[in-house]
Amino acid sequence: MLHITDTGIGMTKEELVKNLGTIAKSGTSEFLNKMTDMQEEGQSTSELIGQFGVGFYSAFLVADKVIVSSKHNNDTQHIWESDSNDFSVINDPRGDTLGRGTTITLVMKEEASDYLELETIKNLVRKYSQFINFPIYLEDIMNLSICHFQTETVEEPIEEEEEEAAEKEEAAEDEAEVEEEDEDKDKPKTKKVEKTVWDWELMNDIKPIWQRPAKEVEEDEYKAFYKTFSRDSDEPISHIHFTAEGEVTFKSILFIPASAPRGLFDEYGTKKNDFIKLFVRRVFITDDFHDMMPKYLNFIKGVVDSDDLPLNVSREALQQHKLLKVIRKKLVRKTLDMIKKIAEEQYNDKFWKEFGTNIKLGVIEDHSNRTRLAKLLRFQTSHHETTPSSLEQYVERMKEKQDKIYFMAGTSRKEAESSPFMERLLKKGYEVIYLTEPVDEYCIQALPEFDGKRFQNVAKEGVKFDESDKAKEKREALEKEFEPLTTWMKEKSLKDNIEKAVLSQRLTNSPCALVASQYGWSGNMERIMKAQAYQTGKDISTKYVL
């Protein structure tokens, strides 16, 4: 049997029948009818579970019988007992054993005996009720070391041979122990005894620091809470503690871990996010929502605690609740604010190395926050050998009449720098962004412009430079001079392979280069697409012994 006792106000006999008998006797179908009636009458059903509604009735999932003993100040102690089919209420023959309060006794089903294990109960309490306001104690076995003081010595008679041997031994030790005996003469002798006792152990000893105002919580408290809550030995990169008000009110603390969780992109988009824990009135509800945070923020850890969400519906129904969508929107905004406030040096050295790909995926996936996410992007550029630059920094360094942001994609920085398309740009002092990750070009394609400047892939047509009237005249003259050659290449020699041939403005050392059309794939993108097409999963035959 499992006993659960509180020291609340208790219930009278009438309240036992009213609050327990009606629901427990009725069964699930009548409970649903009752809830429907309450909704039609305009009554709130959000507190039904707190009034021994469906939560109490679920006890019969693990118990054959439920016994409730309760003592109210205005009544004698009564016992309510039910096997889910019928119930009875009698005066407690034991008298007033509770003083005031209620004890629920579950006579467990044989197949539910695991719930009688101390470790199982501890884990359940710590998971679901770690942060509720009231202390929860579990009676547990403890081993204590007890010291007994010996005040007198009882001598027992011994045989003559034993006496002679003892005298010789004492004589040999006398000289060495004279001083010790003088010192220990007045000290009482003690004896340690191990004793096993039952005692109460506090289960919910971690306080919900998100319930306190942020200005009252010390930095060390956040770090200690994070390590306990997330079971991570490293300190977080950053955190944000806030209270959201409006359509829904909730409190939250969000953390950015020091390193990316293992397998962060395994099953990306299909794996449930278990790093955001949802509480309702400090009672843990779930951590397996698909949509608590968007996919690209699947590394964020934290808690969300709301008093506005209902407790009396299933987790599946709660996941579709309209208020949850409001919570998600606010969590994303606060997370992006938190990331934005990370110091530049720490951002590049820690955050971007661990979670840069997530931000790029966010630009691709999150249309509503694309502008905010674009400001968080970092790329290697021709401006500096090692330090990445933001798009804001790039725009600040743009030439006076430069109207586009130039980028070059490749498998490495070295490959991008050595491309023929870079020759004229670097010679003229234009800064070029290097896209060296497979996701980079997708990211830029999803971002049509930044700060009013459009992006230009230097491996595609359309690269133009500001030129004087004299330079323009010279270019037009050269185009006319080489027109027979370009026409011949387009219409005869390479007519099956190229769309057109033009005199290049971007080459200085290389004689020619193949350029992608404005809306076609660049060479790098074509390589990525081919690599994806050739990828196959492992197909291990089970017909042969390996």
Known binding residues for ATP: 6, 11, 19, 25-27, 51-56, 102, 315
Q: How far apart are CA 320 and CA 287, in angstroms?
A: 15
- Please tell me the distance from the alpha carbon of residue 522 to that of residue 527, in angstroms, as a whole number: 9
Backbone φ and ψ of 64, nearest 5°: -75, -30
- Positions at the binding site: 6, 11, 19, 25-27, 51-56, 102, 315
Strand 432-435 to 404-409 pairing: parallel
List, as one string, the DSSP characters of 358-377: HHHHHHHH-STTHHHHHTT-
Distance CA 254, CA 238 (A): 8
| Cβ count within 10 A of residue 379 | 21
Integer Cα distance of 457 and 493 in angstroms: 27
**Per this entry, what is the length of the chain?**
546
Tokens of 169: 């031994």
What are φ and ψ of residue 189, in 5° steps? -85, 140
The whole-angstrom separation of Cα 208 and Cα 282 is 8
Q: Transcribe 440-466 into DSSP letters.
A: HHHHHHT--EETTEEEEETTBS-----
Give first-to-last CA distance, the chain, whole Å: 52
Q: How far is CA 333 from the centre of its chain?
A: 16
- Calculate helix-pair angle for 523-534, 438-445, nearest 10 degrees: 120
Of 431, 436, 429, the closest CA to residue 382 belongs to 431
Q: Per DSSP, which regions of 353-509 are E strands?
A: 379-381, 384-389, 404-409, 432-435, 449-450, 453-457
